[in-house]
Amino acid sequence: MKKTLLFTACCLLLAMGTFAQIPALERVEPMFWWVGMHNPNLQLIVHGDHIASRKVELSYPGVKVVAVHKVENPDYLFIDLRIFSGTVPGTFPIKFKKAGEKVITYNYDLKKRDASSGRAQGVTDKDLIYLIMPDRFSNGDTSNDSFANMREQGIHRDAMFGRHGGDIQGVMDHLDYLKDLGVTAIWLTPAVENDEPHASYHGYAVTDHYKIDPRYGTNALYKQFVEKCHAMGMKVVMDLVHNHAGTEGYTISDMPMKSWVHQWPKYTKSNFRDAAVMDPHASPADRKQMLDGWFDQRMADMNENNPYVQNFLTQNHIWWVEYAGVDGFRLDTYPYNDPVYMSKWAVDVKNEFPHFSIFGETLVWSAANQAFFTEGNTVNRGFDTHLPGVTDGVWKEAVYDALNANEGWTEGVNRLYAVMAQDFLYKDATKNTIFLDNHDMSRFLSVVGEDMNKYRSGMAMLMTMRGVPQMYYGDEILMKNFSNPDGLVRSDFPGGWKGDKLNKFTAAGRNNAENEAFNYVRKLANYRKNTTALQTGKLMQYIPENGIYVYFRYDDKKTVMIVYNSRDKEQATTTTRYAERINGAKTAKNVITDEVVNVANLTIPGKSTLVLELIK
């Protein structure tokens, strides 16, 4: 209890330079910028010992100092610049002057924007996303395993919440494996610095927004990673955390102002109840605790009503896109953010990068709750979120019901049908990211009891339903475990470390069941990659009958029929009911086996799914 009170006091009392000695000019962020941005305004955050006591001077054609803001903490200045259209790239000094003391100079770079094709291109329903926790995937560079100046030391692969040493180079070393699997987009959990004393591997307690964690690599290496992915025909999703920041970051340990984070008389957690945001009858106190409560004692809740915080976050995210060329953002803990700010943020990002894609994490319990956060749902809100899509956890739960539960009027496979029928709630449900598991939940294989028929059926639905499919690393080689404790679902990919007994990146290192699973996923993923009907085609579904659920994906090139038998025993069925969509086809190719079958009469094993390409 004493530790909790001490921590709360340290975090909630404004620490004006009392945590550590800092240089006269510790940092300027963004450290450089670009000419020709849609928004001509730029706000620099300057941190240094009593930097507010100095006068700011700069002179560069096309750049004007609009305002210099002093705030509560004298170790900060916020400088508003306007960069006019036509300003040429170059370097100019920003001088910080004080009578009787040496002038401090920072040489600021304005760069030319990179107009190369393939940058910030967006991740769409044409893609298959592969989610990786870098620390747990592969250690490609042992020289960056640990740093003496960081709070968490060493590699401890036997500790669930310790650092294991995986890094960006390790991901780059296995891009051929991912491309062969059929992956077209890679989502890394946050790779920016998390210099926390414990469990810093997960990345969600950022301590330096502008710096890749040194244990993962460097900013330059991250940029090379994106460029290599693009050269191989793959995209990159960057994971962002607006809602909170690690307590060891400089803006938290030496806050610019008390209102930088949400303050409470004592440590107060979020109630984690998203309904309080949308409930027309909600208590204001409940809503405030949902939005302003802290996610964790090591994750300070950012005050997104503060315009300085808004500029800091938005400019940082735009900086990463322009610097590295990433293609999309996944937004962590989306419902906990200030809704009005997030709407403005989305507009600001899209103004700079029109083809860029965004999806928000919304682990909620109903389609209506999910849809509330997406663009177009403006009733009783007074604004549009401009959020194109969400992580479709409701779809995931419905698939689990279809695979594991007995059928009923609204249970089992009928739940999946009903969830799909609620797509009318979204402006465009195809922008939702569908998934079977991720780093925060039990692995799919374990949830279906390691039943291979259920595993294959779930993977078939993932690859053939509407939306942007996302896999979790290792699902293709039957990695398993439950989420309590979380560390078990974040196990290392076998073969990613020198000296691993088995290398499951290769067929020789996998057992028969693992190779069967890998080849099944690979076949489906690459078929999807080359079949527009499964990417952007229309969807038609039929009410399940006798436990059999049928849906079609189709366009003017192909029609794919998906048939799932939710019962435990094999079933034979006629297909006359689907004649309007079969449209006269007599035969079809089984996408997995390449066998040609008679469409009129089908036999489906228990808990199994057929993926059939109709032959005209």
- What crossing angle do the helices spanning 393-404 and 452-464 adopt, rounded to 10°? 140
**Dist CA 36 CA 50 (whole Å):** 33
Q: In DSSP terms, which residues pair with 533 in a beta bridge?
A: none
Alpha helices in 79-187 (DSSP H): 168-172, 175-181
| Residue 397: active-site member | no
Are 525 and 535 in contact, with CB atoms under 8 Å apart? no
Q: How many CA atoms lie within 13 A of 185 on its CB side?
A: 28
Bond before 61 cis per omega within 30 degrees:
no
* Residue showing tokens 């799914």: 609
CA-only gyration radius of the chain, Å: 26
CA distances from 55 to 15, 69, 98, 607 (A): 24, 11, 6, 72
Which value, to the nearest 10 degrees, does the dihedral of the CA atoms of residues 47, 48, 50, 54 take?
Answer: -80
- Angle among Cα 336, 206, 44 to the nearest 5 degrees reads 95
State which amino acid sits at residue 185: A
State which amino acid sits at residue 579: A
Choosing from 213, 304, 332, 401, the catalytic residue is 332
Over the range 49-73, which residues count as b (16 or more CB within 10 Å of their CB) and which as e? eebbebeeebebeebeeeeeeebeb
| DSSP assigned state of 492 | P
Choosing from 239, 361, 375, 401, the catalytic residue is 361
Listed in sequence order, the residues at least 6 apart from 170 whose beta carbon sits closer than 8 Å to its beta carbon are 134, 137, 138, 139, 140, 141, 496
Are 562 and 553 in contact, with CB atoms under 8 Å apart? yes
| Residue 332: active-site member | yes
Q: In DSSP terms, which residues pair with 131 in a beta bridge?
A: 187, 472
* The token pair that represents 591 in the structure block: 């996408």
Element holding 572 (H helix, E strand): strand 571-574
* Residue showing tokens 């090139």: 557
**Dist CA 512 CA 525 (whole Å):** 20
Residues carrying an active site annotation: 332, 361
